[in-house]
Chains A and B, each alone.
Chain A
Amino acid sequence: NAGVTQTPKFRILKIGQSMTLQCTQDMNHNYMYWYRQDPGMGLKLIYYSVGAGITDKGEVPNGYNVSRSTTEDFPLRLELAAPSQTSVYFCASSSRGVGGNEQFFGPGTRLTVL
């Protein structure tokens, strides 16, 4: 099992550009998540999905969009990139959303917006 994979690992964007961060998991997990990690801060939830076709906002959704057309894939779209979106982005998945359930994380995408 590859677990959770993310591409790209690094990216530099100019202000106003758009891009899609890819996330794929091969564990057949229903729940998937996108987080951002700012320097010296904990992870903050951007969006999550409880299954194919179902997505919902987390704590910091502004400036992002997601889709979940398959169980495996959960891409994150940035429209009109802004310097405030400079961060490290982590995708995660879990088999259930209940308490005590482990989330499995990808290696992250480091994004810089200049």
Chain B
Amino acid sequence: GNSVTQMEGPVTLSEEAFLTINCTYTATGYPSLFWYVQYPGEGLQLLLKATKADDKGSNKGFEATYRKETTSFHLEKGSVQVSDSAVYFCALSASPSGGYNKLIFGAGTRLAVHP
């Protein structure tokens, strides 16, 4: 079945450090891939997405490239800020036959950035 695996947290970084959060997936067909972010006390917000192989999603300095050959969608940011502290979820959207596309989430990775 479809699944998403992302690296365990917490990830603790100093401000301006480089960030990578790994995400790999298993899916039949051609899923769309997402990164959602959850700030403390809030619901999830879409951070970026990619809908086909080799697409790069980007937003707020974050990037992720849809790699079909390695079934990966790793999240990167060149210089993190304290305000990036949050939980990051990788997700895929796959369509069962005749049905709607549902989101399948990874377990989430908590990021803590210190000054």
The listed residue (A42, A45, A90, A101) touching B108 by CB distance below 8 A is A42
Chain A residue contacts of B77, Cβ below 8 A: none
Identify which of residues 51-68 in chain B touch chain A, using a CB-to-CB cut-off of 8 Å: 51
Asked whether any CB of chain B lies closer than 8 Å to the CB of A53, the reply is no
Interface size on B, residues (CB 8 A): 28
Write the chain B residue with the least CB distance to A50.
B100
Which of A43, A48, A58, A92 has the largest number of chain B CB atoms within 10 A?
A: A43
Distance between A72 CB and nearest chain B CB, rounded to angstroms: 17
**A43, A102, A107, A108: which contacts B105 (Cβ < 8 A)?**
A43
A contact patch SS: loop
Point out the residues of chain B lying under 8 angstroms from A44, CB to CB.
105
Total A-B residue contacts, Cβ distance less than 8 Å: 65
Q: Which residues of A contact B103 (CB under 8 A)?
A: 43, 45, 103
Q: Find B44's partner among A50, A58, A99, A105 (CB 8 Å cutoff).
A: A105
Contact B100 A42 (CB under 8 A): no
**Bound: A108/B94 CA distance, A:** 24
Whole-angstrom CA separation of A88 from B97 in the bound complex: 30
Give chain A residues whose Cβ lies under 8 Å from the Cβ of B89. 42-43
Contact: B43 with A4, CB < 8 Å? yes
Interface set of A (CB-CB < 8 Å, partner B) = 4, 31, 40-45, 48, 50, 58, 90, 92, 97-103, 105-108
Q: Which residues in B have some Cβ–Cβ distance to A below 8 Å?
A: 4, 30-32, 34, 36, 41-46, 49, 51, 89, 91, 93-95, 100-108
